[in-house]
Amino acid sequence: MGDFQPARPDIVRRLNAMSGGTGGAAAMVPLDADEIIALAVAATGLDDFGEPTWEEPYRKLVEALNTEAQLNVVGRLMCRHDLVRHLCARLAVIDAHRRDPELAATPVPAPVFITGPARSGTSILQELLALDPNMRAPYAYEMAHPVVGPEVDDATRIAWAESEFDLWGDVNPGFQAVHDLDARLPEECLWLMAPEFDLGFWSTNTEVPGWMAYRAFTDTAPIYAMHKAFVQVLQGGTPATWLFKSPVHLSRLPALLAVYPDARIIRTHRDPLKTAASTVSTLAEGRYTRTDEIDLGAIATSSVFGLTMILNGLADPAAALPEGQVAELQYLDLMADPVAAVAAVYEVLGLPMAPELPGLMTAYLVERPQGRLGAHRYSLEGYGLDPVALREQFRPYTDAFSVPYEV
């Protein structure tokens, strides 16, 4: 067993334990790449997956889930569901473009992308900006089930997605304090990239280091091509000012701008000693939904290494973004005065602020206060990390962007 073992609900504990007498978790819930493809084809009645760029990452992922992830019964069931659903989404997106070839020519003009290190305010910022009547954010339920038959209404899609998202908290109640998964809220671009079997989604809930290393060095162009094709389906031929969000964009901005050359970027910044500790906690809670083998030290080492490379890389003058297309936003400014912080970002990016937006944001924050689903507690020392050493390690980033330190 790992060194992170919060109490599990009885039904989850029993489901995982009972496999011991029946050949183990893999025997109870098999993950076979070809069988899962066949399930997606049967579920949709479609068999055109488009360009084959998805298949090698998909097959390597399934192999890693079987050999690296140490999944328990419930974890294997959740992964099996995700694999089928992501394949179904891909089939649906490709079919929508086949049925309406004009979709590919539909512009996605000057979208707004929020990115920054995990736990730096990107989620609440997206929720606030999604209140802007001039913005269109992708909602979780429509990314989970982008195209369905006429007999399936939005209420049904929401119910399907809500069941899936609630399960994360049912399996591991501690996860609810980390991230509020809600089918009716805007969600990360991870879901738009998942049909290409990108690493973003799977890093949050499985420990597959070999696959992550492989995927980190593959071409990201097909991932952003899928992102745009998916968005073109969601907007249905009516261009909108889209609002996207994900920390994974932070290290891929050149690839993002190659597909969306007029994109506006909001880049959030927070003391990396806080984001590093919070990231370790987030990964531990997310992965505990699917395995009992959580090694906090290994998660801390790998996540801090990656975060250091990404953040210090931003300080390189060669990584500078086109002037007028990026607004830098400090987390502490956002928390202290959200309305003023958003107004400053809008001014930098030349975005018009709707007169009603300040009031909508203020009311939203009253209704959804931070910590309403529980306290998210973490510490560097608890993960074997040295704050003094990390402060120096991240100094190129904090100096370049004048990131204030937090106590």
CATH of the domain at 368: 3.40.50.300
Contact call for residues 346 and 319 (beta carbons, < 8 A): no
Tell me, yes or no, whether 355 lies in a domain: yes
192 pLDDT band, cuts 50/70/90, is: very high
Return the amino acid letter for 234.
L
pLDDT of residue 47: 98
Mean of the pLDDT values across residues 208-225? 96
Query: How many CB atoms are closer than 10 A to CB 215?
Result: 22
Residue 182 has pLDDT above 90, yes or no: no
* Span 72-93, average pLDDT: 97
Count of alpha carbons within 13 angstroms of residue 283, beta-carbon side: 27
For residue 218, is it within any domain? yes
Residue 246 lies in a domain: yes
Domain assignment of residue 263, yes or no: yes
Tell me how many domains the chain contains. 1
Summarised one tens digit per residue, pLDDT across range 357-400 is 999 999 999 998 765 555 556 678 888 899 999 999 999 999 99
Q: Is residue 328 a part of any domain in this protein?
A: yes
> Tokens 């937006």 appear where?
357
Of 228, 230, 213, which Cα lies nearest the Cα of 263? 228
4 located within any domain: no
| Dihedrals phi, psi of 339, to nearest 5 degrees | -65, -45
Q: Which of 11-25, 87-101, 373-387 has the lowest mean pLDDT?
A: 373-387
Q: Is 1 contained in some domain?
A: no
Q: What is the pLDDT of residues 46-58, one digit of tens each?
A: 999 999 999 999 9
Q: Do residues 200 and 248 touch, judged by C-beta distance below 8 A? A: yes
Does the pLDDT of residue 87 top 90, yes or no?
yes
**In this structure, are strands 243-245 and 112-115 parallel, antiparallel, or unpaired?**
parallel
Q: Average pLDDT for residues 187-196, to the nearest whole number? A: 96
- Residue 318: the pLDDT is 83
pLDDT above 60 for 273: yes
Instruction: Assess whether pLDDT exceeds 80 at residue 312.
Output: yes
Bigger pLDDT: 272 vs 382: 272
pLDDT at 80 over 90: yes
Q: Answer whether residue 186 shows pLDDT above 60.
A: yes
Instruction: Label residue 389 exposed, middle or buried (CB < 10 Å: 0-12, 13-18, 19+).
Output: exposed
Q: Round the average pLDDT of the chain to a whole number and report it.
A: 93
Secondary structure, 3-state, 45-68: CCCCCCCHHHHHHHHHHHHHHHHC
pLDDT at 377: 67
- Does 339 map to a domain? yes
Task: Answer whether residue 4 shows pLDDT above 90.
Answer: no
Q: Can you tell me the distance from the alpha carbon of 280 to that of 299, in angstroms, rounded to the nearest whole number? A: 6
pLDDT tens digits for range 107-159: 999 999 999 998 899 999 999 999 999 999 999 999 999 987 777 899 999 99
Domain that holds residue 175: 10-400
User: 35 or 378: which carries more pLDDT confidence?
Assistant: 35
pLDDT tens across 221-262, in order? 999 999 999 999 999 888 899 999 999 999 999 999 999 999
Q: Decide if pLDDT at 181 tops 80.
A: no
